[in-house]
């Protein structure tokens, strides 16, 4: 037996001490990461008992949260199973991306006061930062009204209105339109601020400051004609955006009366979820209530034969009835199947592409008659 030596122990201890001088001690959190304990720890992309999370790594075309994983159905959309049932947005209250929208409001005709149901469609791309979002791109995709008569934008009006009343701030006349979307319990509180629009007249008839929220009646009166049936003069302040050679924006009227009505119009609209009634979180389509006001001045009527006098009557807003705005999520970005199935090309780059985009937007959110 070799004799025990304290000297050997001392030399060995000294050697071990010197050997540890340059060793690196890893943090306990990294050493202690355990896949399968249900806690997301450094080095893990997921840690949940769910299809799509394997060995704490997220499989391609899946997204995972602490409650489970879902297959990715499209750009910013997830669902359940191979067919992506229960499709929903990845970020519950984030408005970023492309949206088709429909404003639904009611008007009354000036002849018998009968209700008319109006739809106005838009394509939007929103950018969200925190709880606020702003309009980054937009197209106005036309108007359709039903009731005692049917009213539609003429082809010239549809083309010109797509680019009118910009909401993205790019023309430098005013900042981009804004809204908010924030978590509220199991849902989202959503607002979309008041915005003013004018058709068939110059921008001089818009408020200088939208944030001041003036009434339409307090603004300068719209251009007008004493006799829209027989007058041929061009009222001061009117424009011909549709290029038909007649002042005002043109609409085709069909039904028990028919013809073309050229008018100057001005309106404002604003939307917000009601207190205690948030929009459902993560859904692809939702609607929020709103209010609006409208002024119309008929400048000329044509192709109307014996009904010209009726067509010359202006519509007015049914302010006693609530309006609404429906939002349908398309996807995050161009170049993805979900978005490219609706948006034919970059907005404002090609008129024909934008007309196709607007036709798709109207198909996504069809007009609904009735107040």
Taking only the tens place, the pLDDT of each residue in 200-241 is 999 999 999 999 999 999 999 999 999 999 988 999 999 999
Contact predicate 118/143, CB 8 Å: yes
Using the predicted structure, report yes or no on whether residue 195 has a pLDDT greater than 90: yes
166-177 confidence digits (pLDDT tens): 999 998 889 999
Q: In whole angstroms, give the CA distance from residue 103 to residue 120.
A: 5
According to DSSP, the residues that pair with 159 across neighbouring strands are none
Q: In whole angstroms, give the CA distance from residue 247 to residue 196.
A: 21
Using the predicted structure, report yes or no on whether residue 285 has a pLDDT greater than 70: yes
* Most confident range, picked from 43-52, 69-78, 84-93, 342-351: 342-351
State the pLDDT at residue 319. 84
Average pLDDT for the chain: 89
16-37 confidence digits (pLDDT tens): 444 444 555 444 444 568 999 9
**φ, ψ for residue 63, nearest 5 deg:** -135, 145
Cα-trace Rg, the chain: 30
Instruction: Please give the residue that has the higher pLDDT: either 313 or 92.
Output: 92
Reported as type and span, the H/E element at residue 202 is none
Q: How confident is the model at residue 113 (pLDDT cuts 50, 70, 90)?
A: low
Q: How confident is the model at residue 305 (pLDDT cuts 50, 70, 90)?
A: confident
Overall residue count recorded for the chain in this entry = 371
The answer to which of 10-19, 39-48, 49-58, 171-180 has the lowest mean pLDDT is 10-19
**φ, ψ for residue 330, nearest 5 deg:** -100, -50
Q: How confident is the model at residue 318 (pLDDT cuts 50, 70, 90)?
A: confident
pTM recorded for the entire structure: 0.84
For residues 74-99, average pLDDT: 91
Using the predicted structure, report yes or no on whether residue 335 has a pLDDT greater than 80: yes
State the pLDDT at residue 1. 41
Reported as type and span, the H/E element at residue 314 is none
Contact predicate 284/87, CB 8 Å: yes
Q: In whole angstroms, give the CA distance from residue 29 to residue 359.
A: 55
Token couple for 264: 């100057």
Residue 289 makes CB contacts below 8 A (sequence gap 6+) with: 271, 272, 273, 274, 322, 323, 324
State the pLDDT at residue 74. 86
Q: How confident is the model at residue 52 (pLDDT cuts 50, 70, 90)?
A: confident
Burial of 290 (0-12, 13-18, 19+ CB in 10 A): buried
Q: How confident is the model at residue 252 (pLDDT cuts 50, 70, 90)?
A: very high
Task: Summarize the chain as % helix, strand, coil (round to 5).
Answer: 15, 40, 45
Token couple for 162: 């797509």
How far is the CA of 359 from the CAs of 100, 170, 194, 218, 348, in angstroms?
Answer: 11, 24, 26, 36, 15
Token couple for 94: 């984030």
Nearest to 150 by CA among 269, 296, 257: 257
116-149 confidence digits (pLDDT tens): 999 999 999 999 999 999 999 999 999 999 998 8
């Amino acid at each position: 037996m070799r004799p025990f030596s304290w000297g050997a122990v001392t030399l060995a201890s000294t050697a071990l001490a010197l050997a540890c001088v340059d060793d690196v001690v890893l943090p306990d959190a990294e050493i202690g990461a355990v896949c399968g304990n249900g806690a997301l720890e450094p080095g893990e992309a997921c840690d949940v008992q769910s299809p799509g999370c394997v060995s704490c790594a997220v499989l391609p075309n899946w997204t995972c949260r602490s409650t489970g994983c879902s297959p990715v159905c499209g750009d910013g959309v997830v669902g359940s199973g191979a067919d992506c049932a229960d499709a929903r947005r990845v970020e519950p209250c984030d408005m970023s991306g492309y949206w088709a929208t429909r404003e639904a409001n009611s008007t009354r005709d000036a002849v018998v006061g009968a209700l008319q149901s109006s739809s106005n469609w838009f394509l939007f791309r929103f950018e969200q930062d925190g709880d606020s979002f702003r309009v980054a791109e937009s197209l106005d995709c036309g108007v359709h009204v039903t009731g005692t008569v049917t009213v539609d934008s003429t082809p010239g009006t549809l083309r010109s209105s797509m680019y009118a009343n910009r909401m993205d701030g790019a023309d430098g006349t005013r900042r981009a339109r804004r809204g908010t979307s924030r978590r509220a319990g199991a849902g989202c509180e959503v607002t979309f601020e008041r915005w003013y629009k004018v058709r068939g007249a110059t921008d001089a008839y818009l408020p200088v400051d939208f944030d001041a929220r003036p009434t339409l009646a307090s603004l300068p009166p719209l251009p007008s004609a004493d006799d829209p049936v027989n007058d041929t003069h061009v009222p001061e302040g009117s424009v011909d955006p549709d290029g038909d050679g007649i002042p005002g924006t043109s609409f085709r009227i069909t039904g028990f009366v028919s013809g073309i009505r050229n008018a100057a119009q001005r309106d404002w609209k604003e939307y917000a979820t009601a207190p205690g009634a948030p929009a459902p979180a993560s859904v692809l389509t939702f609607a929020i209530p709103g209010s609006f006001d409208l002024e119309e001045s008929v400048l000329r009527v044509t192709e109307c034969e014996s009904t010209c006098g009726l067509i010359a009557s202006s519509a007015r807003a049914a302010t006693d009835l609530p309006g609404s705005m429906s939002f349908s999520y398309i996807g995050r970005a161009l170049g993805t199947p979900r978005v490219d199935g609706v948006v034919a090309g970059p907005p404002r780059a090609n008129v024909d592409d934008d007309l196709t985009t607007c036709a798709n937007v109207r198909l996504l959110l069809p007009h609904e008659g009735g107040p």
